[in-house]
Amino acid sequence: MRTANIERKTAETSISATLNLDGTGKCAIDSGVGFLNHMLTLFAVHGRFDLTLTCKGDTEVDDHHSVEDIGIVLGSCIQAALGDKRGIVRYGSFMLPMDETLMLCALDLSGRASFNMPFDFPREKIGTFDTELIREFYLGLVRACPMSLHFQMLAGTNAHHIAEAMFKGFGRALATAVSVDARLNGQVPSSKGVLA
């Protein structure tokens, strides 16, 4: 089983997370940020990852520190669970429709951090959640688990649907990338012999 447990404590947040890449989508999320609970649940369910996560953060300031640090912790879990990445597919992509929204997520577990999201949300808030924090979440994740991660919005007008499509699409694309390719016979999927 490819699992990881990561804890991160700062003056702003205290986070504990456990991730099983070979799960069934079971999750228990208490991030302290209601909308992020919903998004992380979608990620886990649609990626078939088992994820438990708790965060106590300074949400009396705002949600920024919690959301960014949870991205860092989830990225750290993915990185730790993957180990040396032997035998994995490495690449993954998924085109996800969510009502009027159509989102492409593509990623490469290359060991090099790159993030591309060439669009903004049509409004600044989803309920009380700042939509700009979604970019901060993924930036934290990509820095902790270096990968090339791209989102392209091909259609979309509803901010909630756009966010859902991103997290569901990321779950599906990551599930493909971390899956084991038996043809590799445990080799690192790179002509260089290393993913870093």
CATH topology of domain 3-184: Ribosomal Protein S5; domain 2 (3.30.230)
Give the model's confidence band at 187: pLDDT under 50 very low, under 70 low, under 90 confident, else very high.
confident
170: nearest Cα among 64, 49, 31: 49
The rounded Cα 115 to chain-centroid distance in angstroms is 12
The answer on pLDDT for 195 being more than 90 is no
CB 149 within 8 Å of CB 142: yes
pLDDT digits (tens, 9 = 90+) for 110-167: 999 999 999 999 999 999 999 999 999 999 999 999 999 999 999 999 999 999 999 9
pLDDT digits (tens, 9 = 90+) for 4-30: 999 999 999 999 999 999 999 999 999
Q: Tell me the domain boundaries of the chain.
A: 3-184
pLDDT digits (tens, 9 = 90+) for 32-60: 999 999 999 999 999 999 999 999 999 99
Angstrom CA distances, 176 to 83, 106, 137, stand at 17, 10, 21
pLDDT of residue 184: 84
pTM of the model: 0.96
17: nearest Cα among 91, 77, 58: 77
Give the model's confidence band at 92: pLDDT under 50 very low, under 70 low, under 90 confident, else very high.
very high
Phi and psi at residue 45, to the nearest 5°: -65, -45
Q: How far apart (Å, rounded) are the C-alpha atoms in residues 166 and 193?
A: 31
Which SS3 state, helix, strand or coil, does residue 130 take? strand
